[in-house]
Amino acid sequence: MAGSHDVLAVLKDRFADAIARAFPQLAGQAVDPAIAPGKNPKFGDYQCNAAMAVAKLVGGNPREVAKAILAAVDVSDLAEPLTDASIAGPGFINVTIRTDALAGLLTAMDTPTLGLEPATGAARQTIVVDLCGVNLAKQLHVGHLRSTVIGDTLARVLARLGHNVIRQNHVGDWGLPIAMVASRLMDQAAAGQIDLARITLADLDSAYKEAKKAGTSESAALAACRKYAMGSKLEAEILAQVEDAKAIENRGKEVLVKLQAKDPAVYKVWQLISDVTMQQCLATCRDLNAIVLPEHTAGESAYAEALGPLVDDLLSRGVAEISQGAAIVRVDDLEPGPPPAPPVLIRKSDGGYLYATTDMAAIRHRCQTLKADRVVYVVGAPQMLHFKQVFAAARKAGYAERAGKPVSLEHAAFGAILGEDGKPFKTRSGQSAKLQDLVELAQERAQAVLAERAELSEYDRTTIASAVSIAALRYTDMSSERLRDYVFSPERMVAFEGNTGPYLLYALVRIKSIFRKAAERFGPAESAAAAAAPLTLGQSAEKNLAMALLRYSSVTQDVGRTLEPHRLCAFIYELAGAYASFFDACPVLTAPDEATRRSRLRLCSLTERVLVDALTLLGIPVIDRM
RNA sequence: GUCCUGAUAGCUCAAUUGGAUAGAGCGUCGGCCUCCGAAGCCGAAGGUUGCAGGUUCGACUCCUGCUCAGGACGCCA
């Protein structure tokens, strides 16, 4: 619920009320009061843009409608008096908030929750956030940065809004690829080529690539060879390799069957692969300050037992049907509108299950067992069609319901990270970039910037470098629109200037510094005195800062609704900017009098607390100095 | 072939979901530290929002058709 400090919400209520009274014939129709913060300060702080829409509905002149709204609305407690001069252009109503009212609103916001009250009762939801999504035997690559960081932030935001958040790391730990790796490792161990006890993730990663290569590439080469009618000798050579590949794949399939039957020898190797991968994955998540813990692991293997019964259930209820020997769910009759989604394949003609089957089992588990009201998938954009199909199939199956109400299934899709050449981000050597390398690169840059600070202890330098590099990485990743690809430039991370994560931390440490100095100059009780001081917002920089602070709760709720962290990034950047301008224009410790000093200190304190709260939502560690 | 997503300043990105003169950062140019942290502040230059139509008081935003880029499409995950 909107608190009394939320200007936007208050104005919406007031104007909606005014419109209803001025135009009773519109009763029953929900008319959007269309309140928006003013873009240009000369048009006031807020504007009501409803007159044009209302004029259309009632068939009147927009400016006359605006006058009628003006006559009916009462905002005298908040704003400068509204006159005909407040109506501009085709019918905009400009509202300028009085500075004393602003001070009152800010005072009302100065509570432990900073005006952002956690949801309670029916408004409090259980929300599953699917994030990270690492695959066994594979290094985390840059794509996992996005799933992990965006997922972590969305989970933090939703929890901050009062919801019961359940993180789920849907680990790719099942299926033929893993079995192929296990098969290869067992062969190599048997041949004395490797020591399973000392195996690393890098070893697993290369085993994965080799297994995949040995198992598939030649068949493609053969196809190409035939297509271009190449020499029969070459074809025969490739044919022999294909036979090898088929043999390897068949071995893999045998191992998969054993794995699914929990054959002790195979299962032990699988467990090893899992342990090595997850240890590294969780360590990298820690390095990113992302809350991804062992208890969040809910791998595909966890649903293995459920797949058979699930398909049987769907077939028996007629939700699924057999087509060309495979079990499918048709969803084109459910998704309205032209592009009908193709059917979802849930069981292959050879009896094997697919990842769509696993995802359906996961949806059922999340809705029915975990009691989710909302499930959020933080997974890359290439899987949009997949989720569209699976969500539709789950609804058709009745899995996505809780207590008779539909569970909201949302794919928070994100774009790719590109290199400066516009192609997927790679390392110099052309390998797909490992996330760990990216983290280390950011750490090194931050260390280099801090190297000059002789006054900092080694411990401080390490802590600060970590925070700064996390700020840079996470902010870079989340500050642009989620769905868009973005270009990652290591070059730009050197500077830590401008619209970056470190800039936000810089604003914070300057506030902290002021409070350290305040205690020195005016005694330890100064902060406490300032905390209760009356706020005066005479300077425009003070007013701007206040306006920014008041937006915090509505922005955070927007992020919870839209699942778009860049809105929070933009807000913090604007808040930090408003503070920087205030810092420059309004001396705090050398303010002209004690009342002004304490008012400004209180403003600093509020800014600090909002910054800390918001930075924490972004998963950026807060620091005292840098 | 069908479908999805995108295209905004030299570069990287915004634009409160249809509102007024499209805003930031980087880079460029010019100011500001004997004064609370210059990782900063203030200012300037920089735009036919891919192209062409349409919808209306009003379009970066919605509709149609193109162009370009990336991606996904029943027996991989």
Do both A257 and A355 map to the same domain?
no
State the pLDDT at residue A456: 87
Q: In this structure, what token pair is assigned to residue A510?
A: 């300057």
Contact A626, A509 (CB under 8 A): yes
CA atom of A49 to C1′ atom of B52, Å? 31
Q: Report yes or no on A388 lying in a domain.
A: yes
Q: Report yes or no on A548 lying in a domain.
A: no
A350, closest nucleotide (Cα–C1') = B75
Residue A250: give the domain boundaries.
176-261
Least confident of A246-255, A308-317, A515-524: A246-255
Answer whether residue A589 shows pLDDT above 80.
yes
Q: Report yes or no on A68 lying in a domain.
A: yes
Nucleotides of B under 7 A from a protein CB: 2-7, 11-17, 19-21, 23-27, 35-42, 57-58, 69-77
- CA torsion angle A38 A41 A43 A47 (round to 10): 20
State the pLDDT at residue A403: 86
User: A337-351, pLDDT tens digit by residue?
Assistant: 444 688 999 999 999
Answer whether residue A395 shows pLDDT above 90.
yes
The domain total for chain A is 4
Q: Please say which residue of A68, A97, A126 terminates a domain.
A: A97
Answer whether residue A242 shows pLDDT above 70.
no
What mean pLDDT is predicted for residues A406-434?
A: 86
Do both A386 and A325 map to the same domain?
yes
Do both A316 and A395 map to the same domain?
yes
User: A173-224, pLDDT tens digit by residue?
Assistant: 998 889 999 999 999 999 999 999 899 999 999 888 888 777 654 444 554 4
CA atom of A555 to C1′ atom of B20, Å? 24
CA atom of A553 to C1′ atom of B57, Å? 34
CA atom of A412 to C1′ atom of B39, Å? 33
Q: Please say which residue of A495, A512, A546 terminates a domain.
A: A495
A601, closest nucleotide (Cα–C1') = B36
Do both A453 and A397 map to the same domain?
no
A484, closest nucleotide (Cα–C1') = B6
State the pLDDT at residue A217: 46
CA atom of A499 to C1′ atom of B11, Å? 15
CA atom of A423 to C1′ atom of B67, Å? 21
State the pLDDT at residue A334: 54
Q: Give the CATH number for residue A350.
A: 3.40.50.620
Give the DSSP letter of residue A128. Answer: E
State the pLDDT at residue A231: 55
Whole-angstrom CA distances from A371 to A126, A162, A365 are: 7, 16, 8
Do both A344 and A444 map to the same domain?
no
Q: Report yes or no on A78 lying in a domain.
A: yes
Q: Report yes or no on A281 lying in a domain.
A: no
Whole-angstrom CA distances from A518 to A30, A369, A525, A601 are: 51, 53, 9, 9
Answer whether residue A605 shows pLDDT above 90.
yes
Q: Which residue is nearest to nucleotide B74 (CA to C1')?
A: A345
Q: Give the CATH number for residue A72.
A: 3.30.1360.70
Whole-angstrom CA distances from A316 to A321, A327, A331, A333, A472 are: 9, 12, 17, 19, 53
Contact A93, A86 (CB under 8 A): yes
Answer whether residue A420 shows pLDDT above 90.
no
User: A461-509, pLDDT tens digit by residue?
Assistant: 999 999 999 999 999 999 999 999 998 887 777 778 999 999 999 999 9
Q: Which residue is nearest to nucleotide B7 (CA to C1')?
A: A484
Answer whether residue A225 shows pLDDT above 70.
no
Do both A313 and A253 map to the same domain?
no
Answer whether residue A539 shows pLDDT above 80.
yes
| pLDDT band, residue A30 (cuts 50/70/90) | confident
What mean pLDDT is predicted for residues A393-421?
A: 93
Q: Report yes or no on A167 lying in a domain.
A: no
Q: How many helices (H) and strands (E) does chain A have?
A: 21, 15
| pLDDT band, residue A37 (cuts 50/70/90) | confident
Mean pLDDT, chain A, whole residue set: 90
Q: Which residue is nearest to nucleotide B13 (CA to C1')?
A: A480
Answer whether residue A31 shows pLDDT above 90.
no
Q: Report yes or no on A255 lying in a domain.
A: yes
Answer whether residue A363 shows pLDDT above 70.
yes
Whole-angstrom CA distances from A484 to A300, A384, A435, A543, A573 are: 28, 13, 20, 34, 20
Q: Report yes or no on A423 lying in a domain.
A: no
CA atom of A568 to C1′ atom of B4, Å? 27
Q: In this structure, what token pair is assigned to residue A614?
A: 């918001």
Answer whether residue A229 shows pLDDT above 60.
no
User: A76-117, pLDDT tens digit by residue?
Assistant: 999 999 999 899 888 999 999 999 999 999 999 999 999 999
State the pLDDT at residue A151: 98
Do both A182 and A223 map to the same domain?
yes
CA atom of A606 to C1′ atom of B38, Å? 24
State the pLDDT at residue A232: 62
Do both A375 and A311 map to the same domain?
yes
A551, closest nucleotide (Cα–C1') = B16
Q: Which residue is nearest to nucleotide B72 (CA to C1')?
A: A382
| Those residues with Cβ within 8 angstroms of residue A141's Cβ, 6 or more apart along the chain or in another chain | A432, A433, A434, A435
CA atom of A541 to C1′ atom of B42, Å? 13
Q: Which residue is nearest to nucleotide B32 (CA to C1')?
A: A584
A562, closest nucleotide (Cα–C1') = B17
Q: Please say which residue of A74, A97, A120 terminates a domain.
A: A97
Do both A393 and A305 map to the same domain?
yes
Answer whether residue A227 shows pLDDT above 50.
no
Least confident of A213-222, A326-335, A524-533: A213-222
Do both A439 and A407 map to the same domain?
no
Least confident of A240-244, A253-257, A554-558: A240-244
Answer whether residue A272 shows pLDDT above 70.
yes
| pLDDT band, residue A249 (cuts 50/70/90) | confident
Answer whether residue A545 shows pLDDT above 90.
yes
A94, closest nucleotide (Cα–C1') = B20
A358, closest nucleotide (Cα–C1') = B77
Do both A402 and A448 map to the same domain?
no
CA atom of A529 to C1′ atom of B31, Å? 38
Do both A449 and A407 map to the same domain?
no
